[in-house]
Amino acid sequence: MSPALVFVVPAVVTAVLTVVTGLVYVRTRRTYLRWWTFVWGLAAVYYAAFMYYSMPGSQQADAFTNIGVVTAALGWTRVVGIWSGARLLVDRPIGRAL
């Protein structure tokens, strides 16, 4: 069994969250929902890229050695998006205002 299969459930969940959040944004037009639609979509792309890069690996290979620079960058961008989205939820600016 490929280690990438562990990411199938999170990929499906983030795809559903992307669609649901996007539909709610279209209905309510709240800025933070638009941001979270982008973040969930980015997370779904991250999981898809991770699975794509780890599938060709051998059974014993560490999946994280096969993910590549693109997937690592998507992962970090996803984390920054989640952090920024949390700040938007509490009405704090994303910028560097002190």
pLDDT of 18 higher than 90: yes
pLDDT of 43 higher than 60: yes
Domain boundaries, the chain: 3-89
Query: Under the phi-then-psi rule, with left for phi > 0, alpha for psi from -120 to 50, and beta for the rest, what region is 62?
Result: beta
DSSP the chain: --GGGGGHHHHHHHHHHHHHHHHHHHHH--HHHHHHHHHHHHHHHHHHHHHHHHTTS-TTS-GGGSSHHHHHHHHHHHHHHHHHHHHHHTT--SS---
Q: Are 93 and 65 in contact (CB under 8 A)?
A: no
Q: Taking all residues of the chain, what is their mean pLDDT, rounded to a whole number?
A: 78
Q: How confident is the model at residue 96 (pLDDT cuts 50, 70, 90)?
A: low
Residue 11 has what pLDDT?
Answer: 87
pLDDT of 61 higher than 50: yes
pLDDT of 79 higher than 60: yes
